[in-house]
Amino acid sequence: MPTMPSRILFLFLLMIFSLSARAQKDFYAENKIQEIRISLTQSNWDTQLDSLKKNNPDQRLSGSATINGKTFRDVGIRYKGNSSYHRTRNETYKKLPFNVKLDSKNKSQLINNQWGTVKLSNAFLDPSFIRDPLAFTVMRMYMPASRCNFAKLYVNETFYGLYINTESVDSRFIKEHFGTDKGHLVKCDPDNWKRVRSQTGCPKGENASLMYLNDSPGCYDAFYEVDEVEAWEPLMNLIKILNRTPNEIESVLNVDQTLWMLALNNALVNLDSYNGSLSHNYYLWFDETGVAHPIIWDLNMAFGGWRRNFSFVEMKDEELVELQPLSEFNNPRRPLISQLLKQPLYRKIYLAHYKTIVKEVLETGDLFKNAEQLLALIEPTVKEDKMKLYSDEDFKNSMDKTMPTGPDHVIGIRELMEARTKWLMEHPLLNKAQPSISSNNHQRSGANWVVTARLDNADDGYLCYRYDRAFKFERILMNDNGENGDAVANDGVFSAQVENKGDIQYYIAAENKSAAATLPERASFEYFKSN
């Protein structure tokens, strides 16, 4: 039987193990700051990482990482990022962004049996440190998006300060959100700073804009990073249909998820994205049927952090405040915007989504409440951070003042978004009378599912349905023929039926001449289930 001291030691060790296990489970908890310690034994590890970043960016140095007290051996470490690495390095700062692959050699070496890659950003062009986690919190309300929080980073026991810790978009992420590990993932922003196409004589092109150039992948491979060569076929198919036959776009694109991404980018003035002059920072996951599902990424310049227009001239503060909801509507360099929003139904649903974002995130003031909570959480660590890219005064003023950072001026988050909220609330495009949708119901009827809904102030109603979350929703027109098809036309009760292949997931959309609405309002991210 253990002696009392042995028993106390046992209980102490058990407590430490329990706390460590809990910390692993809460690795992306928004109210937590993680502790990550990297160990690299190479005497010139910094120079070697720079060399790999320049010459072989997919290669890594071998080291170890201790995360919240748990040590992982033989991990792969490299620098990450484009501007956040190159500009930071050129300005002689040491605080560079890291990518740590825990399962580099041991595939079972994961945090909480889930996460194999740790991505740490250095808050480049973000004196507040909170743009990434704040924006991702909003994104996750409406579409699949990464979890994000903060981490204290030590490299060989030297404190490198506070970093942003963002969940990787990888096969595990796809499995969690879509219930499958099949399909192909395309990164629409390759890490390689010096992008070189494998084919010569190509049209100019423009990053991951999805503009059509020609039929050869060799003219696109500098702009898109594919997980397997087979991914080129669905990617090229998407590009061709988007630009040549956009009326067929639903056959190759999750349109509603795309509309959410575009609306979120615009509403939150996230111009370091597809919507802006660089056209990057997103992924496309192609499911087994070849349909693309967009996934947003890298939000450190949301809320006006990137403000260079398509001529790369810095936009004025008022231009950020008054960024039009239909910005780039006529821009052929952004076909995902111009081709989709020229179709009346898509444009109306886009504006309905936009109005939901304004109502739920901006009008409520929740954005600023969340921002203040994040700032309070990290303030002590920011003050300890001697390697941070900006001063304590910049951090203090980051909500309410515009400040110069090299050739750029970073607008305050509240300074921008309070004015923008007021401007958007009065915008005529967001104040058109929408249909109302209520009293939805579903029931089995023989070999079919029958879905009904009460639609007021609507000309047309649509049932959007699917049988499996691995695929997009299909859309069919509903009939205004009364509940259960009882031929009582024009009573506002619309119905549609689909084959009963098992349980269905669905939402309702309605439109009139001016506007559209969906039920639930966060459709297609939220939906009704038959089970």
- pLDDT per residue, tens digit, the chain (531 aa), is 445 555 554 444 444 444 444 555 789 999 999 999 999 999 999 999 999 998 888 899 999 999 999 999 999 999 998 889 998 988 878 899 999 999 999 999 999 999 999 999 999 999 999 999 999 999 999 999 999 999 999 999 999 999 999 999 999 999 999 999 999 999 998 765 557 888 999 999 889 999 999 999 999 999 999 999 999 999 999 999 999 999 999 999 999 999 999 999 999 999 999 999 999 999 999 999 999 999 999 999 999 999 999 999 999 999 999 999 999 999 999 999 999 999 999 999 999 999 999 999 999 999 999 999 999 999 999 999 999 999 999 999 999 999 988 788 999 999 999 999 999 999 999 999 999 999 899 999 999 999 999 999 999 999 999 999 999 999 999 998 755 545 455 679 999 999 999 999 999 999 999 999 999 999 999 999 997
In this predicted structure, what is the pLDDT of residue 407? 84
Residue 14: the pLDDT is: 45
Tokens representing residue 420 in the block: 């923008």
Nearest to 427 by CA among 523, 343, 358, 517: 358
What are the tokens at 449? 């599912």
How far, in Å, CA of 523 to CA of 520, rounded? 5
Interatomic CA distance for residues 317 and 394, integer angstroms: 18
**220 burial via Cβ count (<10 Å: 0-12, 13-18, 19+):** buried
User: Any residues with CB less than 8 A from the CB of 452 and at least 6 apart, and which?
Assistant: 439, 440, 441, 442, 483, 484, 493, 494, 495
Determine the pLDDT at residue 127.
96
pLDDT of residue 400: 97
* Burial of residue 416, with CB atoms counted within 10 A of its CB: 0-12 exposed, 13-18 middle, 19 or more buried: buried
Residue 17: predicted pLDDT: 42
Q: Which amino acid is at 13?
A: L
Q: Starting from the edge strand earliest in sequence, which strands make up the sheet with 292-296, in order?
A: 225-226, 184-187, 282-286, 292-296
pLDDT of residue 19: 44
Strands 225-226 and 184-187 come out as antiparallel
Beta strand pairing status for 33-39 and 148-155?
A: parallel
Planar angle of CA 221, 299, 34, nearest 5 degrees: 110
pLDDT of residue 406: 79
Q: Are 326 and 341 in contact (CB under 8 A)?
A: yes
Tell me the residue type at 192: N
Query: What type of residue sits at position 502?
Result: G
What pLDDT does 482 receive? 56
User: What distances in angstroms separate CA 123 from CA 120, 150, 379, one per listed residue?
Assistant: 9, 11, 14
How many C-beta neighbours within 10 Å does residue 140 have?
15
The rounded distance, in Å, linking the Cα atoms of 421 and 359 is 9
* pLDDT the model gives residue 485: 47
Tell me, rounded to whole angstroms, the distance of Cα 199 from its chain centroid. 31
DSSP reduced 3-state for 417 = helix
What is the number of H-type helices and E-type strands within the chain?
13, 21
Which amino acid does the sequence have at 500? N
